[in-house]
A and B are shown apart, each in its own frame.
Chain A
Amino acid sequence: MSAWLEACIARADDNTAGQSWLAAKRQESLELLRESPWPTRKTEAWKYTPLRVLQGFSGGAVGSAAVVDKIDDLNSIDLVFVDGNFDTEQLSVELPEGLSVTRLADADRATQAWAAKRFACIKPERHLFGLVNDVLFSDGVIIDVAAGCTIHQPIRVVQQLSEGAEAHTRVLVRLGEGAKAAVIEQCDGNSESFNTLVAEYQISAKAELEHYRFAFQVDKAMSVGGCHFDLAERAQLNSTLVGFGSTLSRVDVDIHHGGEHTFAKFNAIYLLDGRELFDLHATVEHANPNGRTIENIRCIIADHAKAVFNGRIHIHRDAQKVLAELNNRNLLLSDHAEINTKPELEIYADDVKCAHGATIAAMDEQALYYLQSRGVDRSKAQVMLSFGFINELVDQMPNQILAEWLRPQLRQRFSQMEVS
């Protein structure tokens, strides 16, 4: 076991956040964690993502987090976590009808009991840090959208971390039957910090969730979190993940089709530079018939950066008539960058339609020539093409105000990347 994990377990014993309602579950997770081997290069789920950077991180020195910028014209309901603690002042804003936001510590017994069930259920072999989040849990909220309600204002959950901070937060979202809402998870920061944001979504029958996760942490801001989606009958998910890399960035996305006629679309974009790392593990479980999944994962990588993608689609024996597509495309801007991609289809039903593919390529010479033949110089053409490559997915975002906000940030990020 690593020194870091030992220290983590020792700290867990002193952790009182969540108190009584969570105590038993936390104990369970602690036991699981004690038995969990520390991932090494031989651990498949962590093969390309070394965790040794964590060893140097001690945390504790807490400064002050930056102010959260509003997103122009988005009119979002902002829920802010500063260094792992929910900023309750944000709760004083008036929420639209049908939406309630409750801090887990303040929730009623029934809600807490429901929330507790979410703990100690994250598979340790794949996501050790789900357990770490369980035992070091600092704060969390439950976002409830009542059945049949449509919340027009997007709900934005912002994680802010000051230098040296560590945060283990939980966001639980429940969409009632036929409800519709948009949730944005955003992590910012470039100073040395560590977070394990775990967000879980229960999407009831016929409900529709529009979801975004912006993992904008760079440099030494470390993040190992995940999003878990449970789809009931005829539920729909449309999710977009955008990530920049850092010394340690790992996101686990789990989509569970728990009912029939479900639909999930998951698009991901990541732009990596320098010696950054970004690791995306996406798992889709089709446990029921007539479900549909579309996944588009695109990465642009420069310099000595490293990208990891593991995309697994598991179609259970009874999940007939499932349609699933997984497409991973990577654009390499440097000979020193590293891409590890592994699409996996595991199919036990005999009447399904599935496709998967992964490509790693340098710039398309034909398209470059086409742009040049109109007067655009080669380096500008490279920038246009690369940006176009990711912009295709930005164009698909349902919220175009958010897309407008995102584009200049991607452009700026991209302009800093070295094309060699």
Chain B
Amino acid sequence: MLKVKDLYASVEDKTILKGLSLNIKAGEVHAIMGPNGAGKSTLGYVLSGREGYSVEGGSAELDGKDILDMEADERACAGLFLAFQYPVEIPGVSNLEFLKASLDAQRKMQGVEPLTATEILKMARAACKQVHLPIEFLKRGVNEGFSGGEKKRNEILQMLMLQPKLCILDESDSGLDIDALQVVAEGVNSQRSPDRSFLIVTHYQRLLDYIKPDFVHVLADGKIVKSGGPELALELEENGYGWLNDNACEGQGA
């Protein structure tokens, strides 16, 4: 599904990703953990095509297609979805209008008939229910005045509607209470399927209690220094990242 090979990327002339490699097969859930400043969020931004992040080397393919040359919207239409750590507020554009524009654009690019307004509304209502957001939120401006938890749930709502192939969750657990965390996790779990993959970026093991990953990677100083199964997350929770300083040079890409 996603093949990242020896990726180098910089922002404002500072190299953040330094030879990152990652291979996610269809249906797999991968978690990326790591200390602050390791490049976790950068990875999400680079893969989703945020402006200001320049790729200096390496490759990234989604379903065999090179995504690094695509615009952000083309990557989304190709099936990539990033759940933001800090979703943007867009007053004056309603949540429903935003969902409709996104769905219309993606379906157009995929060459499928657009959904009718009624179909979209029906889906949106069901999605609201699933992430425990009142239906009135569809009429409100995108994320406008939403609490931190509501914003994160709104990201999951979009994911449910857009049905992406690859979902990158950028610290979707940060700032959430236990209830909201469960809602987010349930949203993700309900979407797990043999043809959909997840990349979960997180600081804490907590989210992984609810979303069981197949693989856990440790990202430090721009590359993956350790990979393992779910037990690696528990190990990190116990020992922290201090050990990285001891054997930083020995790290190998996954």
| Residues of B contacting A85 in the complex (Cβ-Cβ under 8 angstroms) | none
Q: Are B76 and A367 in contact (CB under 8 A)?
A: no
Q: Are B90 and A370 in contact (CB under 8 A)?
A: yes
Q: Are A392 and B73 in contact (CB under 8 A)?
A: no
Q: Are A375 and B92 in contact (CB under 8 A)?
A: no
A372, B51: Cα distance in complex, Å = 11
Interface centre among B48, B81, B101, B158 (most CB of A within 10 A): B101
Number of A-B contacts (CB under 8 A): 86
8 A Cβ contacts from A361-379 to B: 364-367, 369-378
| Residues of B contacting A371 in the complex (Cβ-Cβ under 8 angstroms) | 73, 90, 98, 101-102
Indicate whether B93 reaches chain A with its CB closer than 8 angstroms.
yes
| Residues of B contacting A381 in the complex (Cβ-Cβ under 8 angstroms) | 73
Identify which of B49, B92, B101, B141 contacts A373 (C-beta below 8 A). Answer: B49
Identify which of A372, A380, A385 contacts B71 (C-beta below 8 A). Answer: A372
A372, B80: Cα distance in complex, Å = 11
Q: Are B90 and A378 in contact (CB under 8 A)?
A: no
A369, B46: Cα distance in complex, Å = 12
CB within 8 Å for A367 and B49 given contacts A373-B72, A375-B77, A388-B141:
no
Interface centre among A375, A377, A384 (most CB of B within 10 A): A375
Residue of A nearest to B139 (CB): A395
Indicate whether B82 reaches chain A with its CB closer than 8 angstroms.
yes
Residue of A nearest to B87 (CB): A370
Indicate whether B91 reaches chain A with its CB closer than 8 angstroms.
yes
Q: Are A375 and B90 in contact (CB under 8 A)?
A: no
Q: How far is the CB of A31 from chain B (nearest CB, A)?
A: 49
A374, B109: Cα distance in complex, Å = 12
Indicate whether B65 reaches chain A with its CB closer than 8 angstroms.
no
A195, B38: Cα distance in complex, Å = 65
Interface centre among A364, A372, A374, A384 (most CB of B within 10 A): A374
| Residues of A contacting B249 in the complex (Cβ-Cβ under 8 angstroms) | none
Identify which of B92, B141, B158 contacts A374 (C-beta below 8 A). Answer: B158
CB within 8 Å for A376 and B101 given contacts A365-B51, A370-B84, A388-B141:
yes
Identify which of A365, A366, A389 contacts B92 (C-beta below 8 A). Answer: A389
Contact size range, B? 20 to 34
A373, B142: Cα distance in complex, Å = 14
Chain B window 78-98, contacts with chain A (Cβ cutoff 8 Å), 1 for yes, 0 for no: 000110100110111100011
Q: How far is the CB of B52 from chain A (nearest CB, A)?
A: 8
Indicate whether B4 reaches chain A with its CB closer than 8 angstroms.
no
Interface centre among B49, B87, B90, B102 (most CB of A within 10 A): B90
Q: Are A372 and B93 in contact (CB under 8 A)?
A: no
| Residues of A contacting B48 in the complex (Cβ-Cβ under 8 angstroms) | 373
| Residues of A contacting B105 in the complex (Cβ-Cβ under 8 angstroms) | 374-377, 380
Q: Are A370 and B88 in contact (CB under 8 A)?
A: yes
| Residues of B contacting A387 in the complex (Cβ-Cβ under 8 angstroms) | 92-93
Indicate whether B218 reaches chain A with its CB closer than 8 angstroms.
no
Q: Are A375 and B82 in contact (CB under 8 A)?
A: no
Q: Are A373 and B82 in contact (CB under 8 A)?
A: yes
Identify which of B87, B91, B102 contacts A375 (C-beta below 8 A). Answer: B102
| Residues of B contacting A370 in the complex (Cβ-Cβ under 8 angstroms) | 84, 87-88, 90, 142
8 A Cβ contacts from A38-96 to B: none
Q: Are A373 and B93 in contact (CB under 8 A)?
A: no
Q: How far is the CB of B90 from chain A (nearest CB, A)?
A: 5
A178, B93: Cα distance in complex, Å = 36
| Residues of A contacting B106 in the complex (Cβ-Cβ under 8 angstroms) | 374-375
A389, B90: Cα distance in complex, Å = 8
Q: Are B109 and A395 in contact (CB under 8 A)?
A: no
Indicate whether B50 reaches chain A with its CB closer than 8 angstroms.
yes
8 A Cβ contacts from B25-59 to A: 48-51
Q: Are A388 and B90 in contact (CB under 8 A)?
A: yes
| Residues of B contacting A375 in the complex (Cβ-Cβ under 8 angstroms) | 73, 76-77, 102-103, 105-106, 109, 162
CB within 8 Å for A373 and B76 given contacts A365-B51, A380-B105:
yes
Q: Are A391 and B92 in contact (CB under 8 A)?
A: yes
Indicate whether A390 reaches chain B with its CB closer than 8 angstroms.
yes
Q: How far is the CB of A145 from chain B (nearest CB, A)?
A: 33
Q: Are B88 and A392 in contact (CB under 8 A)?
A: no
Q: How far is the CB of A260 from chain B (nearest CB, A)?
A: 32
B interface residues (Cβ-Cβ under 8 A, vs A): 48-51, 71-73, 75-77, 81-82, 84, 87-88, 90-93, 97-98, 101-103, 105-106, 109, 141-142, 158, 162
What are 16 A-B contacts defined by CB distance under 8 Å? Answer: A369-B88, A371-B73, A372-B71, A372-B72, A372-B73, A373-B50, A374-B101, A374-B105, A374-B158, A377-B73, A377-B105, A378-B71, A381-B73, A384-B93, A384-B97, A391-B93
A interface residues (Cβ-Cβ under 8 A, vs B): 364-367, 369-378, 380-381, 384-385, 387-392, 395
Given contacts A375-B105, A384-B98, list 8 more A-B pairs with CB under 8 A: A371-B101, A371-B102, A373-B50, A373-B76, A374-B81, A375-B102, A376-B73, A381-B73
